[in-house]
């Protein structure tokens, strides 16, 4: 068995792991690179294998940095199935076509306004190509053992990160390897905790927060104080949110804050994300995967006024505060949030809330880092609004929670590969696994290839 790191190595994005065994080959995760331009350009690079020779893809979950390359893989010749949980399929039915549509919009805007070096700018894939890719998806239940390729079996187990999220156990007769995907938190307000890991020869562990602990303060207390502060000065609170997981946590929190009187009960709240609206409805169909009752899920869904049309979204940009707008995307890389930032970010009465991890090279990271302006639609938009970071609402396990999870392995793996983290985070987790557990831990480089029979990088 051989493993090649085609993404998620030396960065927190683009997870993509090629696993070969004899004549069989599968891809575990198939994500887009996001963030810095040098990373985004990897999306356009030719893969070091022929996609037509690939037996199957196995997805741990639906976030685009783990699933968003699937339509392009199919466009480039992949003909096999894509295996994942039913929850992941339902979310990908929303996320992938939206990704294609956004790429088409971005290319069209760049061509129209002339801020592209490419003539013409083209999308990686279109909405229709993304929609057609969904025909390849096949659901597998948590705990079901299946064979994606001759000589290999896979079992998906709950990872607790978002609906449908799994860690993947891959086995041949001689060797086993466990891919963590993105791990959730043991005490998340909505999602249930990850299942315990199973014995494995090799482990690929994410390290998004590998060098940090989450703030132990109540994230909804921080959110409530921030919203109340902005509302008191008549400001507009713009919350950049991922449509899957984060938007639902925010809606649940705002419902609680209003119910408890910590923010004005009559404060207008808008969910300006068609995708997040559709995702929120899926929570009602998958209540066994999360902690909320049906009544609580319905209350979460009623916490905001839904903005569906582009016209209504544009009208928000001409409205006065106080009000709260939750919109995608979570790192302000696209979606409707950037239109609101373009309209409102300069006014010091307003507030920008960044509710989660901000990868390097994104607008969200620049804003959180104190940038005086960010470039949106070819304009340099001043940042005069108050900026609030809300890391403690993260759906990712922090460093302590990752280590607590891997400690539950019955025996130490022969080798642990620390991936899906910024270099400092990945190296910090590697050092901690070696120091505290005595494990052979390694941070692979992009395109590195490892022979798992020997446990040595080549």
pLDDT at 454 over 60: no
The yes-or-no verdict on residue 102 having pLDDT over 50 is yes
User: Across all residues in the chain, what is the average pLDDT?
Assistant: 92
425 burial class (0-12, 13-18, 19+ CB within 10 angstroms)?
buried
CA 327 to mean position of chain CA atoms? 15
Q: Supply the pTM of this predicted model.
A: 0.87
Q: 266: pLDDT confidence band, cut at 50, 70 and 90?
A: very high
Please tell me the predicted confidence (pLDDT) of residue 242.
81
- Mean pLDDT across the stretch 390-413? 93
Confidence of residue 456 (pLDDT cuts 50, 70, 90): very low
Structure tokens at 223: 């959110």
pLDDT at 79 over 90: yes
* % of residues, the chain, pLDDT over 90: 75
Mean pLDDT within 129-158: 98
| pLDDT tens string 214-225 | 888 888 999 999
Can you give the pLDDT at residue 455?
A: 45
* Highest-pLDDT range among 112-116, 247-251, 381-385: 381-385
Tokens representing residue 252 in the block: 């649940």
Buried b (16+ CB within 10 A) or exposed e, 140-176: bebeeeeebbeebebbbbbbbbbbbbbbbbbbbeebb
Look at residue 115 in the predicted model and tell me its pLDDT. 64
Output the pLDDT for position 135.
Answer: 97
Q: Tell me the CA distances in angstroms from 375 to 82, 319, 333, 365, one per residue in order.
A: 37, 23, 11, 13
pLDDT band at 457 (very low <50, low <70, confident <90, very high): very low
The pLDDT assigned to 156 comes to 98
- pLDDT at residue 117, as a whole number: 64
Give me the domains of the chain, ranges plus CATH numbers. 2-212+395-457 (3.60.15.10), 219-393 (3.40.50.10890)
Which of 123-132, 276-285, 411-420 is the least confident region?
A: 276-285
Do 174 and 366 contact (CB within 8 A), yes or no?
no
Reading the block at residue 398, the tokens are 């922090």
Q: What pLDDT score was predicted for residue 154?
A: 98
């Amino acid at each position: 068995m051989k493993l090649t790191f085609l993404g998620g190595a030396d960065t927190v994005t683009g997870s993509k792991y090629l696993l070969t065994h004899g004549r069989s080959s599968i891809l575990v995760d198939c994500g887009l690179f996001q963030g810095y331009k040098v990373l985004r350009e990897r999306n356009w690079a030719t893969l070091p294998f022929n996609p037509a020779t690939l037996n199957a893809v196995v997805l741990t979950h639906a976030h685009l940095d783990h699933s968003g390359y699937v339509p392009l893989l199919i466009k480039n010749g992949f003909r096999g199935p894509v295996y994942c949980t039913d929850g992941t399929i339902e979310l990908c039915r929303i996320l992938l076509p939206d990704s294609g549509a956004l790429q088409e919009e971005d290319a069209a805007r760049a061509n129209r306004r002339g801020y592209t070096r490419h003539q013409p700018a083209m999308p990686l894939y279109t909405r229709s190509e993304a929609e057609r890719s969904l025909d390849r998806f096949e659901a597998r239940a948590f705990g079901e053992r299946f064979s994606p390729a001759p000589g290999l079996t896979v079992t998906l187990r709950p990872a607790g990160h978002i609906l449908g999220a799994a860690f993947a156990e891959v086995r041949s007769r001689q060797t086993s390897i466990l891919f963590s995907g993105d791990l959730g938190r043991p005490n998340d307000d909505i999602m249930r905790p990850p299942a315990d890991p199973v014995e494995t020869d090799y482990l690929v562990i994410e390290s998004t927060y590998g060098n940090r602990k989450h703030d132990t303060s109540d994230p909804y207390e921080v959110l409530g104080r921030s919203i109340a502060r902005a509302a008191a000065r008549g400001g507009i609170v713009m919350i950049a949110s991922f449509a899957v997981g984060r938007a639902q946590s925010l809606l649940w929190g705002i419902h609680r804050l209003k119910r408890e009187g910590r923010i004005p009960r009559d404060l207008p709240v808008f969910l300006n994300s068609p995708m997040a609206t559709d995702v929120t409805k899926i929570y009602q169909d998958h209540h066994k995967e999360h902690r909320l009752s049906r009544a609580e899920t319905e209350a979460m869904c009623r916490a905001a006024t839904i903005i569906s049309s582009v016209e209504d979204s544009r009208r928000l940009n001409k409205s006065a505060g106080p009000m709260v707008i939750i919109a995608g995307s979570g790192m302000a890389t696209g979606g409707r949030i950037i239109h609101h930032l373009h309209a409102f970010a300069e006014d010091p009465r307003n507030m920008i809330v960044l509710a989660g991890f901000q990868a390097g090279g994104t607008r969200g990271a620049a804003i959180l880092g104190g940038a005086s302006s960010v470039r949106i639609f070819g304009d340099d938009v001043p940042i005069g609004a108050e900026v609030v970071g809300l890391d403690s609402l993260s759906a990712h396990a922090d460093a302590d929670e990752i280590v607590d999870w891997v400690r539950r392995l019955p025996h130490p793996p022969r080798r642990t590969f620390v991936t899906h983290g910024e270099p400092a985070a990945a190296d910090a987790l590697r050092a901690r696994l070696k120091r505290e557990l005595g494990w052979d831990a390694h941070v692979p480089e992009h395109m590195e290839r490892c022979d798992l029979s020997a446990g040595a990088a080549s």
